[in-house]
Amino acid sequence: MPQFTESTIAFPYKRSLGPVIGAFMTALTEMRIIGIRSDERVIVPPLEWDPDTGVELAHDFVDVGPAGTVVGWCWVSAPTVQHPLDHPFAFGLIKLDGADTALVHAIDVAGIEAMTTGMRVVPRWKAARKGHITDIEAFVPGESPAVPAGDTGGATEPVTMMEYDASITYTTPVPTNVIRAEEATEEGRFLGLKCPECGRLYTGGRSFCPIDTLELSPSDEVDLPQVGTVTNYTIITPVQYAGQTETERFGRVHVLLDGVDVVLQYQALIDYPVDQIHIGIRVSAVWASAGEDDSDNAAGVANLIGWMPNGEPDNEDPELVDRIN
């Protein structure tokens, strides 16, 4: 059965609204929708500059709606967490009474069969409004909006800032080679893939050889050595921030595995003084024993604790410094 991984990128941001959008958001808290006059047109939502000429607009605000006419729409049959409603709905272009441009917003109806171009809709306001476009929960069929139960009233101060938590979630398939590589590390092995065309070795479950653009399969797998040489290193001084667990300087090393053309990058070097880390140290992999799995290890491999000097004489090959990948 195919496996998938889900990743979410999320970040909060805050922006100042300025006198035009700020006025629009403030009006929403009062259950009003305003536009801005540009020559003979009323633009909704209001803009700071005329979209046709680029001329800065005077702050001549006009109340519009609240009812309007649907001039276009599309149906959302499977809403996500990013959508304003948790059940099927329409996104519509709504030309509010008194406006010359259309506002994009959600339209909540019983089903797609209830949606028509030309239908009349009104806003369904939230009881608690904060000065955001979502103060209108959605538009619904009708001519006169109702005051929501428990209405909290308008803003006591002009709305000048907007906060928003943006996020996006990716779902990606996990290739078979990646799954097999992860299974190997759980067994305390490094699994490599050898291109049958050029003979290059790759780690990490790579699905193809980038040199020959040849797909790699389980038949190309080889076990890699667990002994190698430090070719490069980085000393890290932790910056103290919320959640930081490291307090002392530590090293991350690149390890060239013996007998193969493979360098494992940014590996943890354990039980070795930071100030004495240097190129040429001979090291061996150290794995967690059963019940000691360290899933947060810096090497990025579930069972691998890190690398430890094995007591062998340093490798003094001057070309090691050129081996970083």
Main-chain dihedrals φ then ψ at residue 50, nearest 5 degrees: -65, 125
Give the neighbor-by-neighbor strand order of the sheet with 61-64.
Answer: 41-43, 33-38, 61-64
137 lies in the same domain as 58: yes
Q: Which two tokens stand for residue 307?
A: 């690398």
Taking only the tens place, the pLDDT of each residue in 283-295 is 999 998 755 554 4
Three-class SS state of 276: helix
> Of 151, 168, 185, which marks where a domain is finished?
168
Taking only the tens place, the pLDDT of each residue in 46-79 is 999 988 888 899 999 999 989 999 999 999 999 9
pLDDT of residue 62: 95
Beta strands in 175-220 (DSSP E): 190-194, 201-203, 208-209, 214-215
- Please count the other Cβ atoms lying within 10 Å of the Cβ belonging to residue 109: 21
Asked if the peptide bond before residue 45 counts as cis, ω within 30 degrees of 0, the response is yes
The amino acid at 191: L
322 lies in the same domain as 184: no
198 lies in the same domain as 239: no
Provide the CB-side half-sphere exposure for 227 (13 A, CA). 8
Q: What is the pTM of this model?
A: 0.57
Asked if the peptide bond before residue 158 counts as cis, ω within 30 degrees of 0, the response is no
17 lies in the same domain as 142: yes
CA-angle at 321, arms to 318 and 325, nearest 5° = 135
114 lies in the same domain as 181: no
pLDDT of residue 291: 57
Maximum alpha-carbon separation in the chain: 86
Full residue range of the structural domain in which residue 82 is found? 3-168
311 lies in the same domain as 181: no
The amino acid at 151: D
End-to-end CA distance of the chain: 33
Mean pLDDT of 30-44: 93
How does 121-137 read in b/e, with b if 16+ C-beta sit within 10 Å? Answer: bbbbbbeebebebebbb
Give the neighbor-by-neighbor strand order of the sheet with 250-257.
Answer: 263-268, 250-257, 227-236, 282-287, 304-309
Residue 312: partners with Cβ closer than 8 Å, 6 or more residues away: 282
Number of domains in the chain: 3
Torsion 66-70-73-77 (CA) sign = positive
Main-chain dihedrals φ then ψ at residue 123, nearest 5 degrees: -75, 145
Lowest mean pLDDT among 70-74, 210-214, 227-231: 210-214
Determine contact, residues 53/72, Cβ cutoff 8 Å.
Answer: no
Taking only the tens place, the pLDDT of each residue in 152-187 is 777 788 999 988 888 888 898 888 888 888 888 888
263 lies in the same domain as 234: yes
User: What is the distance between the alpha carbons of residues 219 and 222, in angstroms, rounded to a whole number?
Assistant: 9
211 lies in the same domain as 135: no
Q: Which two tokens stand for residue 20?
A: 């035009």
11 lies in the same domain as 154: yes
DSSP string, 98-138: T-SSPEEEEE--SSGGG--TT-EEEEEE-SS--SSGGGEEE
> Of 168, 184, 216, which marks where a domain is finished?
168
Three-class SS state of 14: strand
pLDDT category, 217, cuts 50, 70, 90? confident
CA-angle at 241, arms to 235 and 243, nearest 5° = 100
245 lies in the same domain as 205: no
pLDDT of residue 73: 97
Going by C-alpha positions, the residue among 40, 42, 24 that lies closest to residue 32 is 24
> Of 209, 224, 239, which marks where a domain is finished?
224
Determine contact, residues 269/251, Cβ cutoff 8 Å.
Answer: yes
14 lies in the same domain as 161: yes
SS (H, E, C) 68-99: EEEEEEEEECCCCCCCCCCCCEEEEEEEECCC
48 lies in the same domain as 135: yes
